[in-house]
Structure 1
Amino acid sequence: MSDASHLIGLLLGTEEDWPRAFETLLGRVGPVKYGGSTHHVSSERITIEPFDLRDKPRYDLVVDRLAWWYFVPREWLKKVALMDDVYLLNSPFTFQAMEKHAAYAAMIRLGIKVPQTVLVPHKNPPENTRFEYTAAKYNRPFDLGAIAANIGYPLFMKPYDGGQWVGVTRIKDHDQLMQAYNESGERLMHLQESIEGFDKFARSLSIGAETMVMDFQPDQPMHNRYAISHDFLAPETGEEIITISRLINAFFRWEFNSCETLVRGAEAHPIDYANASPDVALTSLHYYFPWAISALLKWTIFCTVTGRDSRVVDMDTRRYFEVGDREDLDYRAKLAEYRRLADEYFQVEEYKAFCATSLKHVDELLLEWVSSADFDALLAGTVRDTYPAHEHEEFLELFRGRVGLWVRERGRSPQTA
């Protein structure tokens, strides 16, 4: 039996909680046996420096949490993907070009129930000497109020490429519309229908072949937004949201992404699903944090050990459009076909088999660690780094309770440092 070594690179910004958890658990996984070989997988935090385009990277896979706003590592990721076949979570090719606007367009064509959405020109022109002439010759005047009235109030004004809820405004009437538009400056904005009277707001976090659909409460502070609620959706709706999430990720080759969906009655309306750096903070996910680390650990090991082909610049969107354009299939039939294509892309069955054999010890390893004083020390340190001193005791007790619930549900008793 031969030995093989694999290196996972972590491209990070300000995060410490989940990287430390990932690094700790990866260090405890030990050798992975697969395909007649013994595989040793380790990780390293990537530093940022000048690079020669002919340099050979040492990484088999990179988890990217930085390139969506920091251009030096973004261009390095493009280079290592194009020239060196490094596997990327996520691909900057599509996150740079296929932001929320393009994602809406693609999903509308595929028949997904995206709310009515209109792109409007920016309020203030871009700084370009050619703009005045071009605008005078080709820009047509438009009635913003009429566009909004056609959509209907209330509605949302939101950046076409935005994230983290920046620049998102709920518009109730014409006066508020004009004020928000005047304040939008040079940003291109969408006007989007508001799904009034929705029953549930679901946020689904997808990591590779796994998806967790969570009951999201956007009006709550961050530590309370993810409710611990297991049966908040009808089973069919839950499966529909998993399918939509996986379809979006397979279509754009995104493997670490979150999707927000409003559920009204029996209909699911996705409203946001292009998050290049989705929230996986311990103080946000709490109860769901162990699952997220487990999924990231298993997926990155699966990809590196099996030599999965990332195909970051080979999107093959035609396969999905061929389904979306068929008039003989209704919505449910299209969803079923999308799920088949997405599961095929993410190798769901192969992934499950790999986890059940080569990584069969990881669930117990994870439970043992999350139950330990070592994890509690990570939790306590994260609370100290996140909240002011007078709130430390309150939040430590809160998060110990929520993570402790996850531990106790699996038959263990959590320890404290």
Structure 2
Amino acid sequence: MNDAKKIGILFGQENSFPQAFIDRVNQLGQGAYKAEAVLIDKVFQGMPTTYHVIVDRISHDVPFYRAYVKNAALQGTAVINNPFWWSADEKFFNNCLAEKIDIALPKTAILPSFDLPEDTTGESFRNLAYPLDWDSIFSYVGFPAYMKPFAGGGWKSVYRVENADDFYNIHQKTSRLVMLLQEEIVFDQYYRCYAVGGKYVRIMGYDPRNQPHLRYQADFNPSQDLLTRMENDVLKINQYLGYDFNTVEFAVKDGIPYAIDFCNPAPDADKNSVGVENFEWVVEHMARFAIEKASNFKEGIDNLTWGKYLRQVIKREPLIS
């Protein structure tokens, strides 16, 4: 067992997924791979961890953990997801990239925060027109629309906006949050899709109009063409972004899946919310993928996943749309 490759999971308040993941890795690993909860008692610069792989579920909320996994990655640990990319991207950039690779999207504009960011003054924004060209923005997006943070996950600070007056009233409530204004897609079907390892996809019926504990109880009947397109879009999005673990949400209108949200690198994997079958799928596929990453571990080199977008940028290749 001392020669076993170690897989750690770094997590916060969630309970069902971390322990199930640990148990499944240890079951599948048969002594060659050992999973456990990451335990940190000190962090020095350049200090390697004892883990070949770390599954990161919490560093987006804990800056100390983000510094820890970046240092771990620098020493060769394969961190899921790549903490350098996770620190760099956000929902608006992801939308811009998705448009380049021919993913159907709602029309989206980014807005400056209503209140000044900390340690800034009006002089910090001399390059920003005031007022903005609101008429053009409203005409482009249309009403009703949704306003949501350009960074962050879940349904926190998400608003449905009926008209311009409603927009102005809601925008001032968002304080220092940088928001997106996004076209409403009046959907007839809605799906949330797990993506693991850039190759495994789980398409789940999901209805955001339901109460949170009922959202996965959605009785949609997708055609095979729709399933194929969603799977291909999920793979393309995550291969370009370079996420090992993510979810993509599609609002389907007139047979077209519009990618609504696909920046969820610590997606909900709680048994009580996603349901038994989806939970079993994500535990199994994440365990198998973590073992795969550990088996491919190479000493003394970078073992992170880097997305197709960054690889093409480095090679100065055009994006393929």
TM-score of the two chains, using structure 1 as the length reference = 0.70
SS at match of 1:138: coil
| Code of the aligned partner of 1:150 | Y
Q: Distance in 2 between matches of 1:94 and 1:306?
A: 21
Q: Distance in 2 between matches of 1:27 and 1:62?
A: 15
Q: Distance in 1 between matches of 2:303 and 2:138?
A: 41
Give the Å deviation of 1:145: 4.8
Q: Tell me if 1:133 matches 2:138.
A: no
Partner of 2:150: 160
Listed as ranges, the matches of 1:76-91 within 5 Å are: 76-82=68-74, 84-91=75-82
Partner of 1:178: 168
SS at match of 2:268: coil
Partner of 2:86: 95
| Code of the aligned partner of 1:123 | F
Partner of 2:99: 108
Give the Å deviation of 1:321: 4.2
Match of 1:45 among 32, 37, 41: 37
Partner of 1:322: 319
Change in CA separation of 1:313 and 1:52 when aligned onto 2, cut-off 3 Å:
farther
- 1:226–1:285 Cα contact (<8 Å) kept: yes
| Code of the aligned partner of 1:25 | R
Partner of 2:259: 270
- 2:8–2:55 Cα contact (<8 Å) kept: yes
Partner of 2:27: 28
Could you give the per-residue CA deviations for residues 267-306 of structure 1, whole angstroms, max 9, x where no partner exists?
A: 1110100112101100012231111111111111112123
If you compute each CA radius of gyration, which structure gives the higher value, 1 or 2?
Answer: 1
Give the Å deviation of 1:4: 4.8
Partner of 2:244: 255
Q: Distance in 2 between matches of 1:29 and 1:152?
A: 51
Give the Å deviation of 1:54: 2.4
| Code of the aligned partner of 1:285 | V
Give the Å deviation of 1:146: 4.5
- 1:257–1:278 Cα contact (<8 Å) kept: yes
- 2:8–2:54 Cα contact (<8 Å) kept: yes
Listed as ranges, the gaps of 5+ residues in structure 2 are none
Tell me whether 280-289 or 44-53 shows the greater mean CA deviation: 44-53
- 1:122–1:186 Cα contact (<8 Å) kept: yes
Q: Distance in 2 between matches of 1:228 and 1:181?
A: 32
SS at match of 2:320: helix
Match of 2:274 among 275, 285, 289: 285
Change in CA separation of 1:151 and 1:4 when aligned onto 2, cut-off 3 Å:
same
- 2:246–2:266 Cα contact (<8 Å) kept: yes
| Code of the aligned partner of 2:90 | E
Could you give the per-residue CA deviations for residues 41-65 of structure 1, whole angstroms, max 9, x where no partner exists?
A: 0012112443111222110000000
| Code of the aligned partner of 1:213 | I
- 1:93–1:312 Cα contact (<8 Å) kept: no
Give the Å deviation of 1:115: 1.1
Q: Distance in 2 between matches of 1:106 and 1:183?
A: 29
Could you give the per-residue CA deviations for residues 146-194 of structure 1, whole angstroms, max 9, x where no partner exists?
A: 4223321111111111211111111111221111111111111111111
Partner of 1:195: 185
- 1:124–1:185 Cα contact (<8 Å) kept: yes
- 2:59–2:66 Cα contact (<8 Å) kept: yes
Match of 1:302 among 292, 299, 315: 292
Q: Distance in 1 between matches of 2:45 and 2:269?
A: 32
Q: Tell me if 1:10 matches 2:9.
A: yes
Runs of 4+ in 1 over 6 A off after TM superposition: none
SS at match of 2:32: strand
Match of 1:220 among 206, 210, 219: 210
SS at match of 1:236: helix
Q: Distance in 1 between matches of 2:122 and 2:14?
A: 44
Q: Distance in 2 between matches of 1:109 and 1:79?
A: 32
Give the Å deviation of 1:228: 6.5
Partner of 1:374: none
Q: Distance in 2 between matches of 1:317 and 1:170?
A: 37
Listed as ranges, the gaps of 5+ residues in structure 1 are 32-38, 325-417
User: What is the number of equivalent residue pairs in this alignment?
Assistant: 310
Give the Å deviation of 1:97: 1.1
TM-score of the two chains, using structure 2 as the length reference = 0.90
Higher helix residue share: 1
Change in CA separation of 1:117 and 1:30 when aligned onto 2, cut-off 3 Å:
closer
Change in CA separation of 1:150 and 1:157 when aligned onto 2, cut-off 3 Å:
same
Change in CA separation of 1:134 and 1:297 when aligned onto 2, cut-off 3 Å:
closer
SS at match of 1:227: coil
- 1:64–1:89 Cα contact (<8 Å) kept: yes
Q: Tell me if 1:238 matches 2:230.
A: no
Could you give the per-residue CA deviations for residues 252-281 of structure 1, whole angstroms, max 9, x where no partner exists?
A: 221111010111122111010011210110
Q: Distance in 2 between matches of 1:27 and 1:120?
A: 47
